[in-house]
Amino acid sequence: MSISIYNTLTRKKELFQTIEPGKVLMYVCGPTVYDSCHIGHARSAVVFDVISRYLKTQAYDVVYVRNFTDIDDKIINRAAEIGMDPKELADKYIAEFYRDMDALQVERASFEPRVTEHIDDVIQLVEKLLAKKVAYVVDGDVFFAVETYDAYGKLSNRRLEDMDPGARVEVDPRKHNPYDFILWKSAKPGEPSWTSPWGKGRPGWHIECSAMSARYLGKTFDIHGGGRDLIFPHHENEIAQSEAGHDREFVRYWIHNGFVNIDKEKMSKSLGNFRLVKDVVQQYHSEVIRLFLLSKQYRKPIDFNQTSMETSRTALDRIYALLLRIDAIIAGKEIPAKAQEDMPFWKKFCHAMDDDFNTANGIAVIFNAVRHANRIMDENETGTISRNVLISLSVVKREILRMGAVLGIGGDVPEAYFHTRRESILTKETMDANVIEKLITDRELARQEKDWERADQIREQLASMNIVLKDHPDGTHWEIKS
RNA sequence: GGCGGCAUAGCCAAGUGGUAAGGCAGCGGUCUGCAAAACCGCUAUUCACCAGUUCGAAUCUGGUUGCCGCCUCCA
């Protein structure tokens, strides 16, 4: 078992070695709760969910912290816009975040702290930074002095003198260096605030993660994750604060996921092309979304569009059709428990995942297993199914479910998976299942009388309604082609 | 201006030195009354282009072209 991880800090894959054997300390930046989650949040959540799940299967004790930023300028501004209390706004979107994550089957982290519950930790860290003279106070605001931290820029691979300050944002003239960032922000009248040695205020933009990660994971921990966009300035600043404050290495492995584009364009306010999780889960089964998000290496950009989603759905159908087929054969049969140690597909899957969590390769292994199982069943369609075949099928099914469980796919009951979609399309298309069943019964009668012409005519009629029939020995099944 | 990424079949996408995974779509075959599904076979002598290193490169080096991201809103 040797996992390698691409470390943003060193810009190469490294062998993963935890600080404490068998234990992984992981922190991932969670949302600032001022708006609904979009598909980009979903990618980050799903990617780190899968990383956490996989590490657990490799016998690691995973301590996973994902925070909520529940106080910040964006929250205050949004709350003011719609005349809501900032705390209420944050609570509302935290609740929505949980609904979205549950819908996507993203597991809960070990700890999900909120900044407003850790103000004391923030103040203590700021005091420490002031004592070390790497921060300064101006009019109740506290800034971190980037020039005091030699390694500033090491994560984002840039030097202070190469950057172009003020290109996009006006520089606060009180700063010693344009890249100095705020640790503690003084409150304007009416803003939420906490008492501090520098007056009433709130935590700055980056300090919370330094304070909370230290609280839950210690001063040095194994993995810190988030979206690519957080590399600079957020994570760069976290490193500066934490390493200056604690005098030791902050994080061993930095993992950043790529963006989700929409029809080849970046999601942006100006394009108004955000895809919200709550909308997407209405349209697609959660596992279709997960399969799509995991079909590309997590560091690369992925394009969300109708074609790619439908392709993912067809692919997932293939897995569920296989599970359904296996279940029909092994249902109610005693399967000997022996010979279940050797799991070649699972091993290949782990090999793929060991290489920087290569889920695209892992998915390929699942489909290899699907083909393998279908082949076994094709070769044993006639006659009595032997014990060995039953064992093989049950083993490969277990492998598929085990691999799927890491990715969060294949966990639905196959019948329910198809049934749910059928129902939702029937509702959408305002079709009546009874009408369809009646036509199928008519066709069955025609077939029994070998009236192929009439049977085919009925099938054509159903086909024009996008109903596909499948004749099985135990009766005719139908599906909606979508 | 600085930093970085990407270019693989009709589409999506793995593959970082040893002779091109997987999914979707398509074509042929088996099966089927006919279909559907499944399986088998076919669909990139080739990985943007040029040069170099090497016994050997999609994979390494240099260059060219094109696309994209970041440089204090952002997953």
Tens of pLDDT, residues A278-292: 999 999 999 999 999
Q: What integer is the mean pLDDT of A199-221? A: 96
Q: Could you report the per-residue pLDDT of A142-201, keeping only the tens digit for each?
A: 999 999 999 999 999 988 888 776 566 678 889 999 999 999 999 999 999 999 999 999
- What does each C-alpha distance from A44 to A28, A66, A263, A293, A445 come to in angstroms? 9, 11, 19, 9, 53
Residues whose CB is less than 8 angstroms from the CB of residue A299 and which lie 6 or more positions away in sequence, other chains included: A6, A228, A256, A257, A258
- Kindly report the bases of strand B lying within 7 A of a protein C-beta atom: 1-6, 11-16, 21-25, 32-40, 68-75
Q: What is the pLDDT of residue A168?
A: 63
Q: Could you report the per-residue pLDDT of A20-68, keeping only the tens digit for each?
A: 999 999 999 999 999 999 999 999 999 999 999 999 999 999 999 999 9
Q: Which three-class secondary structure string do you get for A88-107?
A: HHHHHHHHHHHHHHHHCCCC
Q: What integer is the mean pLDDT of A389-414? A: 96
Which has more confidence, A424 or A34? A34
Least confident range of A93-102, A406-415, A456-465: A456-465
Protein-to-nucleotide distance from the CA of A106 to the C1' of B42, whole angstroms: 41
Contact of A36 with A93, CB cutoff 8 Å: yes
Q: What is the pLDDT of residue A32?
A: 95
Closest nucleotide to A364's CA, by C1' atom? B22
Q: What is the pLDDT of residue A166?
A: 57
Residue A186 β-bridge partners: A201
Q: What is the pLDDT of residue A339?
A: 55
Instruction: Indicate if CB(A458) is under 7 A from strand B.
Output: no
Instruction: Indicate if CB(A363) is under 7 A from strand B.
Output: yes
pLDDT of residue A473 exceeding 90: no
Q: What is the pLDDT of residue A341?
A: 66
The alpha carbon of residue A136 and the mean position of all alpha carbons in its chain are separated, in whole angstroms, by 38
Q: What is the pLDDT of residue A219?
A: 97
Least confident range of A2-16, A161-175, A319-333: A161-175
Could you give the ipTM of this predicted complex?
Answer: 0.96
Q: What is the pLDDT of residue A167?
A: 61
Please give the structure tokens belonging to residue A283: 């349209």
Domain ranges of chain A: 4-266, 306-413, 429-480
| % of chain A at pLDDT higher than 70 | 98
Q: Specify the pairing of strand A265-266 against strand A475-480.
A: unpaired
pLDDT classification of A482: cutoffs 50, 70, 90: low
Angle between helices A433-448 and A452-464 (to 10 degrees): 160
Q: Could you report the per-residue pLDDT of A73-111, keeping only the tens digit for each?
A: 999 999 999 999 999 999 999 999 999 999 999 999 999
pLDDT classification of A296: cutoffs 50, 70, 90: very high
pLDDT of residue A419 exceeding 60: yes
Judge whether A4-266 and A306-413 match in fold. Answer: no
Please give the structure tokens belonging to residue A346: 């699972």
Q: What integer is the mean pLDDT of A224-253? A: 96
Instruction: Indicate if CB(A230) is under 7 A from strand B.
Output: yes
Q: What integer is the mean pLDDT of A249-270? A: 92
Closest nucleotide to A237's CA, by C1' atom? B72
pLDDT of residue A122 exceeding 70: yes
- DSSP string for residues in A454-479: HHHHHHHHHHHTTEEEEEETTEEEEE
- CATH class, range A306-413: mainly alpha
Q: What is the pLDDT of residue A165?
A: 65
Protein-to-nucleotide distance from the CA of A45 to the C1' of B70, whole angstroms: 21
Classify each residue of A247-271 as buried b or exposed e, where b means 16 or more C-beta atoms within 10 Å of its C-beta: eeebbbbbbbbbbbbbeeeebeeee
Protein-to-nucleotide distance from the CA of A362 to the C1' of B14, whole angstroms: 9
Instruction: Indicate if CB(A326) is under 7 A from strand B.
Output: no
Q: What integer is the mean pLDDT of A377-388? A: 86
Architecture of domain A4-266: 3-Layer(aba) Sandwich (3.40)
Least confident range of A148-157, A298-307, A425-434: A425-434
Q: What integer is the mean pLDDT of A237-244? A: 96
Q: What is the pLDDT of residue A120?
A: 97
User: CA angle at residue A475 from A473 to A481, to 5 degrees?
Assistant: 110
Query: How high is the mean pLDDT of chain A?
Result: 93
pLDDT of residue A392 exceeding 60: yes
Instruction: Indicate if CB(A41) is under 7 A from strand B.
Output: yes
Per mean pLDDT, which of A163-177, A222-236, A418-432 is the most reliable? Answer: A222-236
Instruction: Indicate if CB(A360) is under 7 A from strand B.
Output: yes
Instruction: Indicate if CB(A195) is under 7 A from strand B.
Output: no
Helices (H), strands (E): how many in chain A?
15, 15
Closest nucleotide to A322's CA, by C1' atom? B38
Q: What is the pLDDT of residue A299?
A: 96
The alpha carbon of residue A155 and the mean position of all alpha carbons in its chain are separated, in whole angstroms, by 23
| % of chain A at pLDDT higher than 90 | 81
